[in-house]
A = this chain, B = another copy of it.
Amino acid sequence: MSVLADIEPVNRESTAGIIARQLRDAIMNGSLPPGTQLGETDLAARFQVSRGPLREAMQRLVSEGLLRSERHRGLFVIDLEPGDVYDIYSARSAIERAAAIRIMRGGDRDRVAAMLDDAVHAMAEADQQDDPAALTEADLRFHEELIEASGSRRLTRMARTLLIETRMCLSALQETYRKSYQGADERVAEHNQIIDAIRQDDEETVLALLEAHMEDAVQRLAPGTSLTSGAAPGLPVGGVDIA
């Protein structure tokens, strides 16, 4: 870990990449609510770039599923339908489960646990200061770090989109979220249990806790839906989705 450890990427990020990241952030924090049309001229002026790089960045988000493109109509931020919360959390459950497995079977568990501790401490701190936004942010940071700690490039890439969509769910259903989930203590406790199980090298418990954590979240956000038993409402019971 010398001072010259991370000077290799002299090549700065591509412009499209920078804009794509900014757009992701804007979608994530609600600056671009679901359904918003992204006018190219406006955005290009806002970013102080031409329409070329901007379009390239937007195409990235299209392939990530954060934008939907209607030909000759424009690009829109996706709006989450009722079944999407189930879809998102079911996918997240799969990703985080795989990440946890990799950590438990080949990672430096203590180091990971320490990093996750930081996130949970931030959660507790946000709770004390009664800052629900910071609490949610720290919550997501916990899961993001869990996945990054797996060392899997693909899990990390896939999770990036899912965590953005998670935040979209949370801000879309903010009122429901607040009302039905008052206890931040439980939230902190749930995450601490996961960390403990990681430290104790108890893979089975880690996976069970993660699954329960996801199940809890789904039932809070979409009451009546369940990851573990049965399909989500609105899911086509008799066949495959069209898209």
Contacts and interface: CB of A to CB of B under 8 A. Distances in A.
Interface of A: 11-14, 16-17, 20, 52, 55-57, 59-65, 69-73, 87-88, 90-91, 93-95, 97-98, 101-102, 105-108, 111, 148-149, 151-155, 157-158, 161-162, 228-232, 235-241, 243
A235 B151 contact: yes
Given A93-B98, A148-B240, A230 B106 contact: yes
A64 B111 CA distance: 29
Contacts of A88: 154
A15 to B, nearest CB: 9
Contacts of A98: 90-91, 93-94
The SS class assigned to the A binding surface is: helix
Contacts of A13: 71
A143 to B, nearest CB: 15
Nearest to A88: B154
Contacts of A230: 105-106
Contacts of A241: 151-153
B11 A90 contact: no
Contacts of A55: 52, 56
Q: 5 tightest CB-CB pairs across the interface, nearest first?
A: A106-B231, A94-B98, A60-B63, A56-B59, A91-B154
A63 to B, nearest CB: 4
Contacts of A20: 63
A131 B239 CA distance: 32
Given A59-B56, A108-B239, A239-B108, A231 B102 contact: yes
A60 B60 CA distance: 5
A231 B105 contact: yes
Contact of A229 (B95, B105, B108, B111): B105
Among A17, A98, A228, A238, residue most surrounded by chain B Cβ atoms (within 10 Å): A98
B11 A65 contact: no
Contact of A65 (B93, B94, B157): B157
Given A90-B152, A148-B240, A151-B241, A235 B106 contact: yes
